[in-house]
Structures are given as C-alpha cells and as structure tokens.
Amino acid sequence: MWGDEGAYGTWASYLDVWQKDLQPHDQVLPRLEQRDFTTDTWTRLVNRIFDAIGGRLRLWSDAFSQSMSRADSEFGVGVALTQARVGLAAILALADHPSLPDDLRLQLREVVERQIRSAQSQLEQQLDRMQQSGSPRSVVDARRRTVRDNPLDAVLAAGWQATQMAPAAVSSQVDLTKRPKRTFAID
C-alpha cells in the first residue's frame, strides 16, 4: 500500500495541506511508530514531515516579511511580531505533536527552534544595520524596543500559548476606533 490508507496516508494528506496554508488545521493524527513501517516507507514519511516544516517555515517567513514591510508604526511592527509568534506556535505544535515518536519530536523541535532563534537574531542584525546606515537614533531605538518587547523566541518559553498574545485579545479589550475621553482641561 502506498499511503492511500492508514497512518501514512493520513499524515501525508495532512502535511500536503498544512505546509501550504497558514490557517489552523485541526485534525486528529494517528500515532506513528517506526516499527509499523518498512525502512524505506519510514524514511519517506520522516522526509515528508521535515519537508512540510521547511515549507511552512518558508511560507511563514514570506508572510512575516510582508507584514513587517507593511507596518507603518511601532504598533504595526508589534502586531506583525505578535502574529508571527502565533504562526511559529503552529509550526512548533507540529514539531511537538504527541503522535510523533520522542526522538523525531526532539529532532524537529531542534530544527524549528534554530530557525526561530535565527529569525530573532536577523531582526536584531537589521537594527544594527539601520543604525550603521545613519537612520535616526530615535527611530532605531524605538524599533529595538519593539523587537525586544515582542521577541519571536518568546514562543519557545515553557507554557507559552498563542492565545496569550493574539492580536484579537488586544482588539477585544480596547476599541482603537474611538477617541479617548479627555480627562483634563488645557487652559
């Protein structure tokens, strides 16, 4: 059987969709055990999982770059960073999926963590380049604060959940379309 049924087919179908779409994909995935597959089939499946994570990371990176380039304020940059962490959490969720064997989860987690730390490092290097290129210090300092207050690698902290910092949580608490009431008078 070439994966049309069973655990291989379920995972393969899921991965094909998951790696090409940043939307959430909730699906119960069967437990994978290496002993249930031939060596060649197991190798193919593991390669598919790594390829899917790589594809999703590239998709995430493109979306993050676009979001950052559209941000026209530090608030917008903060929102882009928050959304980026939510996207990274979905990638980590697959890497840490409980249906994967422990050794595979460890390998996948290391790959994803390395990419997240690299992305954070690149953001900070961009700030250094901005400063060296003569950008106003106040602009660089403001951006540095935003990046450090909203680090991508916060998603790696134990217990971090996407709902902790989701933009929807902010917008439901504060209506940014209404002007604040004046609480003081100017003479």
pLDDT digits (tens, 9 = 90+) for 5-57: 799 999 999 999 999 988 777 788 999 999 999 999 999 999 999 999 999 99
Tell me the domain boundaries of the chain: 6-22+30-166
pLDDT digits (tens, 9 = 90+) for 86-143: 999 999 999 999 999 999 999 999 999 999 999 999 999 999 999 999 999 999 999 9
Q: How many other C-beta atoms are found inside a 10 Å radius of the C-beta of residue 18?
A: 22
Report whether pLDDT(2) > 60: no
User: Higher-confidence residue: 164 or 13?
Assistant: 13
Q: Give phi and psi for 165, each to the nearest 5.
A: -130, 20
- pLDDT value for 23: 78
- pLDDT value for 165: 42
- pLDDT value for 161: 59
Report whether pLDDT(170) > 50: no
- pLDDT value for 106: 96
Report whether pLDDT(68) > 50: yes
- pLDDT value for 183: 33
Cα 51 to Cα 47: distance, rounded to the nearest angstrom:
6
From the number of C-beta atoms within 10 Å of its C-beta (0-12, 13-18, 19+), residue 45 rates as buried
Output the CA torsion sign for 91, 95, 96, 98. positive
- pLDDT value for 18: 94
Output the CA torsion sign for 146, 163, 17, 51. positive
pLDDT band at 4 (very low <50, low <70, confident <90, very high): low
Q: Which residues, 6+ apart, have CB-to-CB distance to 51 below 8 Å?
A: 15, 19
